Structure formats: C-alpha cells, structure tokens
Amino acid sequence: MTLRLRNTTAEDVIITDYRSLTIPASDSILIDAQTTHALRLSLDLYDFLIRGVLVLNNGSRDFPQQLGIAVIYNNFEHSIPLADFTTEVAAGNVPNYESSVMVFYSNSVNSSSLTDIWMATGNMVQPTGNETYEILSSSTADTPAGTGARTVLVNSLDADGYEQQTVVNLNGTTPVTLANTNSYPRDMTVISSGSGQTNAGNLTLRVQGAGATRSYMLAGKGLTLNCHFQIPAGKIFYPTSLDFHTGGAAKPVTIESQISTPGSNTWISTSIIPFIETSFFSPFRATLGFPPGTRVRYRARLDTGSDGSVAAIISGFYKSII
C-alpha cells in the first residue's frame, strides 16, 4: 500500500517521516491508498496526526475527535470515518500504545487542607528509595481458607522503575512479606476469595516492619483506588480527561494535581480546579506526555467546613518507548 498526503498547495508526495511534515491548517489532506484492503495507519502517521494537525474532509475535525480521512481505492474516492485515536488505542489497533483508566476515591477528604484522594486517611509519605513491602488485613477472615479475600495481586515498580506483579496469600491480621524489591506502589486487587466474595477487612500494604502505608483497600471494595502513581520506566503517559465527583449535594470543592519530575523530591502544582457541583468533567483538546519516573498525585479539599468524600477518574494512554 502506498500512502500519500495531498494538499491544495502541493502535488502528491510520498511521505516517509510524517512527524517532520508541516501542513497549513487551511489545506485539505487526502490519503491515497492504492489497495482494496482496509486502510491501517502506521504508528508514525498516528504520531503525526496527534501533534495537532487538522485533518479536513468536508469540514474541519479537531484532534482527537473523529479524524476525517478521504481514501482513494483504484481512483474512486470514498469518504470514511476513522475512529478517534483513544478508541483505536483501546481496541488494540495502535502498536506500542495502551489505554489507562485510573479511579481514585476517598471518604475522608479534609475541609481545612488539601488531602490525597485515596482510601487511607491523611497523605501518603512518598518513597525515597527501594523498599520491601508487607500486607495484612484488619480481619482474620482474609486468609487462604477464610470467607474473605484469599489472594491479592500487588502491582508495583521494581528497583529500576519497571512494572512488576506479585501474588500474595493473605494471612489475616498477620503481615505477609513480599519477596521482591519495590521502588513505588501502584495498586492491589483481590483475585480470589471465600464465600464473602471480597475482602472482609481493610487491607494495608506498607513498608516492612509496620512502616509507612503504600496502598490501602477498604473492606468490601476488592481493589485500591489510590491517587498516586509513578510513570513506569520505558513509558510516557498522556492524560486525556479528568472527571471528579463529590458525595451528596453540590458543594464547593478544590482539586489540585501535582507532579514531581524524575529524580526530584519537589512537587509542582499543574492545575487547581475549584467547582461547586456534584461533578466536574474536563476533556483535553491537547495533551502533554509525562516521561518515565514522573510522579503524579491528586488532592482535594471540601470548602464546606466538614469532611466528606471525593472520587476521581483519570483517563489517558501510555506509549511504550522501548
């Protein structure tokens, strides 16, 4: 299949590096495909399109919503829609990209200061080096033969910042030490349980020896909903939307996102969002990537004089750069 880009100011040109191409937004762009097979765009072309170029076909269409492509099959022009980039990623049609949807929740957001949106109380103390974790429950029912959670999948980053998984057999209120070395926690999920079908008690992932809490799961939830994450080695994260919700009636809330750049222990505010509603949704028309090693966290404050609950959904995608 031969791919060409055609615009109103130049003849057809075969493009070998889409990322270096500049086309005025006023031009119409056609892709010429000399094949009767379905058009499958290359990764380089996806990279080119998501860099902000408007693809026009009977009217402009903005990234990332429904890029319009005109395709020529044996000199017969058809207008076909191309699903938006994030949908193609979710469908597994874009090599080296994967979708990510992260859900955070806290039922104890502070009314006087910004608080991490996670299932534990207070704010997480950030790791400063490699650590060994241990996990325990507040219930004796969370054991290999109990009625609650039996095994848990722990996702974390290893000493080099790469993703790793560990399956742990719970032992109730007795801590179980994980065998591997960890540089940053990610999440926990109950993967087997007894007749109760979920965790009977609160599960705590902490530094070995009753150290700092690294992840926390409320009883009956089956997974952690923690607002802290570090971009794994070999990947770039592109957030595409933020979605926040408060419990009960509409109330004034302040949400703040913060990042810590790789190798730094300094946190920088990247957005401060005040709203007086039960929910707030913000899709991005453009997005910047967070490089490997970047730490991200979301905090909230209920400006109502009383504590309460806040949930957040952060959607985006990862690009593998290995």
Q: What is the pLDDT of residues 205-250, one digit of tens each?
A: 999 999 999 999 999 999 999 999 999 999 999 888 888 888 766 6
Residue 22 has pLDDT above 80, yes or no: no
Q: Which two tokens stand for residue 310?
A: 């806040």
100: its two tokens: 């990510």
Task: Indicate the CATH number of 98-119+228-320 among 3.40.50.720, 3.40.50.300, 1.25.40.80, 2.60.120.200.
Answer: 2.60.120.200
| pLDDT higher than 50, residue 312 | yes
Domain ranges of the chain: 4-90, 98-119+228-320, 133-217
Q: Does residue 239 or residue 94 have the better pLDDT?
A: 239
On average, the pLDDT of the chain sits at 76
305 vs 138, more confident: 138
Does position 74 have pLDDT exceeding 90, yes or no? no
Does pLDDT of 49 surpass 70? no
Give per-residue pLDDT as tens, 245-303.
Answer: 887 666 788 889 999 988 888 999 988 777 776 777 766 655 678 899 999 999 999 88
Higher pLDDT, 194 or 32: 194
How many CB atoms are closer than 10 A to CB 172?
Answer: 20
- In the numeric block, which tokens belong to residue 170? 């719970």
Task: Calculate mean pLDDT across residues 14-29.
Answer: 39
- pTM of model > 0.85: no
pLDDT digits (tens, 9 = 90+) for 140-184: 999 999 999 999 999 999 999 999 999 999 999 999 999 999 999
Task: With a cut of 70, say whether residue 199 has pLDDT above it.
Answer: yes
**Ordered alpha helix ranges (H), 27-114:** 43-49, 85-90
pLDDT score for 247:
75
